[in-house]
Amino acid sequence: MITQVDIVGAPNKVIASQNTIIETTHLCREFGQGDTLVKALTDANIIIERGEFTAIIGPSGSGKSTLLQLIGGLDNPSSGDVFLDNKNINHMTGTELSDFRRDHIGFIFQAYNLIPVLSARENIEYIMLLQGVPAAERNKRVDRLMHAVGLEGLGDRRPAELSGGQQQRVAVARAMVSKPSIILADEPTANLDSKTGADLLDMMKELNEKQNMTFVFSTHDPKIMERAKRIIRLVDGCIVDDERRS
């Protein structure tokens, strides 16, 4: 049961459920003004429990990416709050937020944001260097993930020498390598052939089930929708449906 103390604008939640990992309260994002005003997200109130496997669906332009960007602290809301692990991320300093993101969130976004001068292997390894993970453990985790996403033999290539789908796989491996508690993924299978997409989803589901990692996807992909335990549907920036499946 969720015991929620709703203090909008408070630095931290007094206590939501121990199991709540993501909470948004009255979250709104507008772009532009006057005649060009776009209400990308309106009054989104969402509670996501640790270990959920959630798909955010809706037509193009309905606000899915906007919601993920706000949850990940990559964009600022026009109003409302985002709490991760009961901490209000909108009240963190820039350094606190970037440390928090590094240690708790893995991002898989459409623009892969790979570092162009680093090889695929180094891109995947990079965050663990920042976290001070020892070399032997880094190598073990990179090898395992490169195998899992089908990138064996391509570790020395830079992003420009990889196809879009291969870059996507590097981005997926990079997001998962530091075992973050939350993975935010914007259309993670969009550029993958159906077998690679299905394999990746199986790997994510395994991490979700074995390590209780929380996944939030935006997607049009029926394969993700089939596997999701919860589906939140957006239309014109508003949540119109929130369905949990057993």
Ligand X SMILES: Nc1ncnc2c1ncn2[C@@H]1O[C@H](COP(=O)(O)OP(=O)(O)OP(=O)(O)O)[C@@H](O)[C@H]1O
Binding residues (CB under 6 A) for ligand X: these are: 31-32, 38, 40, 58, 60-66, 218
User: Toward ligand X, which CB reaches closer, 23 or 187?
Assistant: 187
User: Toward ligand X, which CB reaches closer, 42 or 181?
Assistant: 42
User: Toward ligand X, which CB reaches closer, 9 or 32?
Assistant: 32
Q: Measured from the CB of residue 41, what is the shortest distance to ligand X in angstroms?
A: 7
Q: Measured from the CB of residue 217, what is the shortest distance to ligand X in angstroms?
A: 12
The CA distances from residue 17 to 13, 21, 98, 174, in Å, are 10, 9, 25, 30
The CA distances from residue 78 to 17, 43, 81, 109, in Å, are 26, 10, 9, 22
User: Toward ligand X, which CB reaches closer, 65 or 208?
Assistant: 65
Q: Measured from the CB of residue 29, what is the shortest distance to ligand X in angstroms?
A: 8
User: Toward ligand X, which CB reaches closer, 40 or 177?
Assistant: 40
Closest CA to 232 of 240, 223, 224: 240
Sheet holding 238-244, edge to edge: 105-108, 182-186, 214-218, 53-57, 230-235, 238-244
In the chain, what is the straight-line distance between the N-terminal and C-terminal CA atoms, in Å? 17
**Helix (H/G/I), strand (E/B), else coil: 12:** strand
The CA distances from residue 93 to 11, 97, 195, in Å, are 11, 6, 42
Q: Measured from the CB of residue 3, what is the shortest distance to ligand X in angstroms?
A: 31
Q: Measured from the CB of residue 40, what is the shortest distance to ligand X in angstroms?
A: 3
